[in-house]
Chain A
Amino acid sequence: MHFTINGRGVDADFDLRTSLLDLLRDHLGLTGSKKGCNQGACGACTVLVDGERINACLALAVQYDGRSITTVEGLADATGLSPLQAAFVEHDGFQCGYCTPGQLCSAMGMIDEVRRGVPSVVAADMADGDIVLDHDELRERMSGNLCRCGAYNGIVNAIADTFAAETHSKEPA
């Protein structure tokens, strides 16, 4: 099977029972993505597949054969941390750091969803395409990522600061 992982082509051969998370961590040595619950309930394993956030623990790796996957290891570039990562450092967006890779990937997927106009349940009107990424929107959109250290205030501030200029205004047709 063949994947593009953090921009690099990777061939892999594995037991079909292998989850995408175990493929990344145990077979490819990309241990940034974390295993918290292994059942979809914590978000520590969040990665991006073709830019969309998913829980790698609930995915069989074989389902994503041929796809492009970004993990936390792919967020920084040669020049250093991404703006979101720098903001996590700046705002104390973690304590033990275990949930952080998932929070970072999730936030990248989240802002892409906001740009595409994906609604959230806190919207007063489902037909209204305007999204203002305020405190309630941000908390709701990040609710798939738990933090056992309770670093939520720092996490929210880091994300809000990074994407401060982002609101989305597109009326559904």
Chain B
Amino acid sequence: MTPFAYDRAGSSADAIRLAQATAATHYLGGGTNLVDLMREGVATPDRLVDVTGLSAAIEPTPDGLRIDAAVRNTALASDPRVRRDYPLLARAIVAGASAQIRNMATVGGNLLQRTRCAYFYDDAAACNKRVPGAGCDAVDGFNRIHAILGASPACVATHPSDMAVAMAALNAVVTIDGPDGSRDVPLTDFHRLPGGTPEIETVLARGELITAVTLPPLGFGARSTYRKVRDRASYAFALVSVAAAVDVQGGTVADVRLALGGVAHKPWRAFAAEAALRGQPATAASFRAAAEAELADAVPLRDNGFKIELAKRTIVAVLEELTGEAA
């Protein structure tokens, strides 16, 4: 680990000011991802600004339920309003990592966790995300966990967060504060696809701080869930996951929210499937057609072709579960 200075921020303004000090200053949440990456030499901050002491409230606002970035994952999943109004989010969080890690992890850090691609972690391997221009060993390597949607020749990594997939389905809004002021970005626009610059993962500019995530009201949010398919029953990243909420009126899909995890460089909002479902009968046939529409452009790599059918079947299974359509 390279040496670093450490500061605890007492307020957002304080954090942003402290982060101006050097070009290699990083904010520090629970540290569950950053400390690991520092130990591996992938992240080399010269200064850490600890933001876990900032406000960690969950409060209703006119725009929805506002969750401060310093809220721990366990606290968010335990919040009675989240469990009642956005059960897919509570379930996504407790489907992730372990209880120990969820106790440490913050909302801001969870959104900004880096990919689990083994070549990204291995400094003997080529990785455009770690060293821009170095090449990508995953494209022709062991790529069972990699992306099937939205990838590029430069990078086929996936975003590993479960929480962010549920937030994408919920039209969550990320509030960002920085040296040039504050702005709101929809979560679906917050993470980027890799294109030719996979090292740029989000729209955050240097020194910008996530201060909160707001969940707008969703009338049919109570009828929602998150299903995660993985190699073991617990404490494993998603191969494929589905966050869904659905509103069925008289046997017809009046409205639906769908997002996928484990398939792309960002939480993947399934807009095509949603469009294909609205106004259709709530049947297994419509669900399958919607899944086909979403995965139409999926591109398999050597080892991960199974994810395409797995994603389709998981979408169908989740919608059947939510609409009471038995399989």
A153 CB to closest chain B CB (Å) equals 16
Interface: B183 (CB within 8 A): no
Residues of A within 8 A of B103 (CB): 52-54, 109
Interface: B308 (CB within 8 A): no
Residues of B within 8 A of A129 (CB): 80
Complex CA–CA separation, A54 to B1 (angstroms): 21
Interface: A113 (CB within 8 A): yes
Interface: A43 (CB within 8 A): yes
Interface: B101 (CB within 8 A): yes
Interface size for chain A: under 10, 10 to 19, 20 to 34, or 35 or more residues? 35 or more
Interface: B290 (CB within 8 A): no
Across the interface, B32 reaches (CB within 8 A) one of A40, A119, A126, namely: A40
- A126:B91 contact, CB within 8 angstroms: yes
- A58:B104 contact, CB within 8 angstroms: yes
Complex CA–CA separation, A127 to B80 (angstroms): 7
A-B CB contact pairs (8 Å), 18 listed: A16-B3, A16-B6, A40-B97, A40-B100, A43-B98, A52-B103, A53-B99, A55-B100, A55-B101, A58-B36, A58-B104, A60-B35, A63-B52, A119-B83, A121-B234, A126-B83, A129-B80, A141-B99
Residues of chain A touching chain B, judged by Cβ–Cβ distance below 8 Å, are: 15-17, 19, 38-40, 43, 46, 52-55, 58-60, 62-63, 106, 109-110, 113, 116-121, 125-127, 129, 139-141, 143-145, 172-173
If A43-B100, A63-B50, A113-B99 are given as contacts, then 18 extra A-B residue pairs at C-beta distance below 8 Å, sorted by A number, are A16-B4, A46-B100, A52-B74, A53-B99, A54-B103, A55-B101, A62-B6, A106-B100, A109-B103, A118-B99, A119-B94, A121-B94, A126-B87, A127-B84, A140-B233, A140-B234, A144-B98, A172-B83
